[in-house]
Structure 1
């Protein structure tokens, strides 16, 4: 069979395999429906491409297989964008359509025009249309590979990154196969078809299965297996070569047999220790050290049994896991069942910067029910891609994703979940292995009693702190009551004194009026003067009683206020006016600063005048003669909102206020 016959049969055979894969894809169920639809389109496009290669000699349209191949690449680009959940996926559709349309137009305009530079090099003739098609294919394929690889490098979760790495490797195998198909050598064409098909099969596996095997760990184990067997075979090879050399040098058969027996005995004797040493070194530097589970559990149990603080317990748990699993992030998440049946989750940081945001989950939360039922670690990858967890609440998914943890290990007491051990990704970005997750679950089971004791101790401490706060409040309340009693006594004393003064005046003037009336010694002028004194005393008495009533209304929040636009300079002038005569008589200097610059405010004008009059009057009363009273007013900006506050400070040179009343 000649080369043209082979080249014509290969596309039909490949089309049969693509048809078989298409049937399997139609039968199988995928958790990623959108990616599955685009993958089916890709398989149909691959079938069309194989048939275009087969019928190319009979089709008049130039370079038809290349155009169908570009369509395949465009569909693969969209499949990748949907599977990897890229944003703005429409850009890739527009890019692919524009590239294919441009190539078709160039083909129609310059279908059979050869490139002269290539024709002079005795290479296969290439037209401008072919060159543009190849360059377009390389451009789209290169962009797709670069974007996939960058997405892989930007992903912090190991299992998420493993998914991207697997898809990137599948793309590389797929595109390498297509590159080999460009070469007109039958052997390379067959290899190219196989690689392209293997790439599609691996993509179908990724789309069908939400969990993909650990690519990096499998690769390391395969490399370690080859390395161990290669190095372990060296003693046999060396012994064989040595035996051949010695057998050539010796002529007697008896010494040769004895020597070969000695060499075989030595090789057998030292082979097993040698292989064991090679395995230990290889697994230490390539796979990583294993741990002694029983020793780890024993040391861990002894450490947590002495811890009675939840925060310290969190530090101890995450610190232990950090040493074993090489992670630098983790937290202990406490579950509290509320009275309404909901669960409250409170993160207790153990290592790294952890959000302390508390979330409340419903009683029938799928997240809680799954952890309680399975009692196995749950990966963030499962939460994002496992179809069984697709009904998780968006709020729960977002809260878990914000903590950037790789695994959540439940701590259950009986049928109730009490806490989670949340651990972040490894520093090496390698996914957690089943043995490591099993160890974390064993440690979580060992934590149940210690966590219960720590929470009880913490609750007891909170209760004691609450009791201490109550005691402090009682002491403060008693002090306030004592101060109020003293203030009340002082108020009664002062009020009695203030009331006695006008009453004494009224009593004295009425006695004078009665005595002079009996003696018929009253004149009209004297009567007017005595009545004036009595009126002033009654006005003062009325003012004191009004002030006492106002004070009682303040105590019961019964005072009615009327707010109007008020200027503080007017208020202060009216407040000072009744006290000007007293300040002149006692030579007291009053200074007002910044009053004119104040804006209008909403206030009860009457009550404000009354309040300022009382404050200034108190300052006049307790300021010695020739003293000073200063009133400063200014605007103060707010530190929280874009508002301004008025500050009015009354200062005098008197004895001041007792600090315990301030």
Structure 2
């Protein structure tokens, strides 16, 4: 037994040396730190080396247990750090806490065992229970707590894994963790046979650690378990048949003669004949259990092809793809991603809403230099989400690409290639039984994607054609609307010529008339100072009227080219309204109108061009005067406007309400356009403040331009136009407290001129 033990230890130590060399060769593929792996293997090898001389000399001496136990704690400390870094990569603090706890455990054990420790000796566990020993209790307690932490964390990570492949990897580490813990416990059991078993178990565990750190896609634990059970059942059946045959043979006491040999042959043939149908019967029973999730690729391909061939609309095709894939591939969700080449070295990925209803307008990009694009477009091969996240091949992917595929919460992708171009991606979510996507599953998905290509191209052509028809119809409607608008604008220009000629002819006629009168009076010698003063005053009024009209036209021309300069200074809404209304007092009295103002006092100051803003408010009030009948009411109210969003600046809302004729719904958006008139210009009558006696139709246009130049907005609301019931209207003006940075500031221009 001693020689077998020593030989086993020597072989184990040699294998650890081979593993050390192997991780040096595979250092670029390691997912776990090479130094930590080397430390684990060195500690395990040192444990083996300590066993050889001690066993040969003392035949498993009691004094060797303390050193072996300390090394076991070191092995578990390093191993726990490695496994926690692997299965909880998103939480590095847990592995650091484990390292600290295992260090405390080791130090406490060493201190308590300096004076003597029974850990690792024969029957030390029984002695620790009957006669408690501090070092033994520390070892047992630490081992128990550590086992709970490692296995508990592994099970929790398995439960919360986002992908079946990740869950399988965590399950692999769970099995490996149990193997390592079991091997370490056997090493300190104090029994020769158990120690030998512990050496072998620990070697298997360390080999599993190296395997898991080198490869990202480990063996499928659940599938291997199912295969093991199935094989065990079949081996058991075979053993039973052989046993029955041997038992029958033994009962006949068959002699070693020719007849006996013939009888053995008959028994063997009968046993074999019975074995074949019995085995088939057993396989018929157990195969549906262990292979119930296998997919018939030929059946799925045929059904899928038949279903998608019936769809010509893109939306219908998407629905067919989703329903068929969910049913045939037995997945929880599936979908389609359209690929559009932007011509900028990248493609745009657009998940179809029928596939990913919960993703609101999600889109992504995939650069043509990306390894994933090369996998799709060049290799024309499928890929799993697990490979995207874990395979070294895709580690160079950009974060924006990786984040897009992670946000889909799916498991497998297959490219849809049409005439050599990547036009779409077929997507599958996790399986109903939470098993991973095996290579044959990905191959089947790729086959379905190839069949989708032609159907997708035809559906997109139909969709593009329908979109083109809709766009054409929309353009036709827009063109008709534009033609109608152009007709209105042409009519407006004609109206302006009529109105402007009327407006200009009146003061010109006055000027010419008074000039002729003055000339006639001068020739007759009847021109005196009083008459001259009166005629000059009338001529001045006519000139001022012409000047106002020309100034309004100039203001509008400045608004057209965004050339209106504004001089900003601090003022108040109360001042603006007062200065706008004061010159209109006589006109309001003549028309017997009532004008009131509320809420103007106490409002915060604003930054504004006082002259221009007064002009804008006056134009709005004058508009109210013109279209409000005699004895009507005009009310001006102001209040501090509460911003609806954080990005909206604080502002003041001013409402100018009248009891006039109102505005029709078809004209509500046109009243701020140049030269617009809400009634027949042939009925035009000159008069700045007369009821329905409007001017050239520029006042509201200028008001809108000035207010928008201050960063504000102006709009009108009215229930309708009625010249008998007077429905009235309200003009709202929203002004920010501070002027925007984008406006033209004359002060800045003057400073530049001075420089």
Query: Structure 2: any 5+ residue segments left out of the alignment?
Result: 253-265, 669-755
Shift of 1:74: 0.9
Cα distance in 2, alignment partners of residues 71 and 546 from structure 1? 94
SS in 2 for 1:288: coil
User: Which residue, out of 349, 355, 372, partners 1:345?
Assistant: 349
The alpha carbon displacement at 1:430 in A equals: 0.7
Q: Is residue 68–residue 188 contact of structure 2 (8 Å, CA) maintained in 1?
A: no
Task: Give 1:608's aligned residue.
Answer: 613
1:581 to 574, 586, 591: 586
**Paired residues for 1:265-276 under 5 Å:** 275-276=279-280
**Is contact 2:417-2:450 (8 Å) kept?**
yes
Match of 1:252 in 2: none
Q: CA deviation at 1:235?
A: 9.6
Q: Residues 96-495 of structure 1 correspond to what in structure 2 (within 5 A)?
A: 96-108=102-114, 127-227=133-233, 275-276=279-280, 278-352=282-356, 353-354=358-359, 356-495=361-500
Matched residue of 1:420: which SS? strand
Aligned-partner SS, 1:660: coil
What is the rounded CA distance, in whole Å, between the counterparts of 1:559 and 1:123 in structure 2? 97
Q: How many residues align?
A: 639
Report the equivalent of 2:81: 78
Residue of structure 1 in register with 2:529 after alignment: 524
Task: Using the TM superposition, name which of 91-100 and 287-296 deviates more.
Answer: 287-296
Aligned with 2:338: secondary structure? strand
CA separation in 2, counterparts of 1:421 and 1:67? 55
> 1:40 corresponds to which residue?
38
CA distance in 1, matches of 2:471, 2:194: 80
Q: Which structure has more helix as a fraction of its residues?
A: 1
Report the aligned-residue RMSD: 3.5
SS at match of 1:464: helix
CA distance in 2, matches of 1:589, 1:657: 21
Instruction: Measure the CA separation in 2 of the matches of 1:16 and 1:335.
Output: 55
Deviation at 1:293, TM superposition (A): 2.9
> Which residue in 2 is equivalent to 1:656?
662
> Aligned with 1:651: secondary structure?
strand
Structure 1 residue 584: deviation in Å? 1.0
Cα distance in 1 for partners of 2:528, 2:353 equals 94
Distance 1:487 1:600, change over 3 A: farther
Query: 2-side partners of 1:273 and 1:10: how far apart?
Result: 45
Do the aligned partners of 1:319 and 1:351 also contact (CA within 8 Å) in 2? no
CA shift, 1:445, in A, is 1.1
Instruction: Label 1:52 to 1:268 Cα distance change in 2 as closer, same or farther (>3 A).
Output: closer
Q: Indicate the SS of the match to 2:558.
A: helix
Answer whether contact 1:18 1:47 (CA < 8 A) is retained: yes
Q: What is the CA–CA distance in structure 2 between the aligned matches of 1:127 and 1:408, rounded to whole Å? A: 59
Q: Is the 8 A contact 1:173 1:195 kept in 2?
A: yes
What secondary structure is seen at the aligned counterpart in 2 of 1:602? Answer: strand
Instruction: Give the deviation of 1:623 after TM superposition.
Output: 1.5
The answer as to whether partners of 2:368 and 2:374 remain within 8 angstroms in 1 is no
Q: TM-score, normalised by structure 2?
A: 0.76
What is the Cα deviation at residue 424 of structure 1? 1.5
Pair 237,592 (structure 1): closer, same or farther in 2 beyond 3 Å: farther
Distance 1:180 1:377 in 2: 45
Q: Report what 2:737 is aligned to.
A: none
CA distance in 2 between counterparts of 1:441 and 1:201 reads 35
Task: Give the match's secondary structure for 1:661.
Answer: coil
Q: 1:598 is paired with a residue of what secondary structure?
A: coil
Distance 2:436 2:92 in 1: 26
- Shift of the alpha carbon at 1:588? 0.6
What CA deviation, in whole Å up to 9, does each residue of 1:203-232 have, x standing for no partner?
222223332121111212322343466579
Equivalent residue, structure 2, for 1:65: 68
Alignment of 1:549-568 (within 5 A): 549-568=554-573
More deviation in 54-63 or 183-192?
Answer: 54-63
| Partner Cα distance (1:165, 1:197) in 2 | 19
**Aligned partner of residue 498 in structure 2, secondary structure:** helix
SS at the partner of 1:650?
A: strand
> Offset of 1:157 from its aligned partner?
0.7
Q: TM-score, normalised by structure 1?
A: 0.86
Change (3 A) 1:198 1:124: farther
Instruction: Judge which range, 102-111 or 642-651, deviates more.
Output: 102-111
Deviation at 1:436, TM superposition (A): 2.3
- In the alignment, the residues of structure 1 paired with residue 505 and residue 377 of structure 2 have an alpha-carbon distance, to the nearest angstrom, of 80
Please report how far the alpha carbon of residue 530 of structure 1 lies from its aligned counterpart in structure 2 after TM superposition: 2.3
Provide the secondary structure at the position in 1 that maps to 2:343.
Answer: coil
Aligned 8 A contact 2:241 2:271 in 1: no
Contact preservation (8 Å) 1:410, 1:420? yes
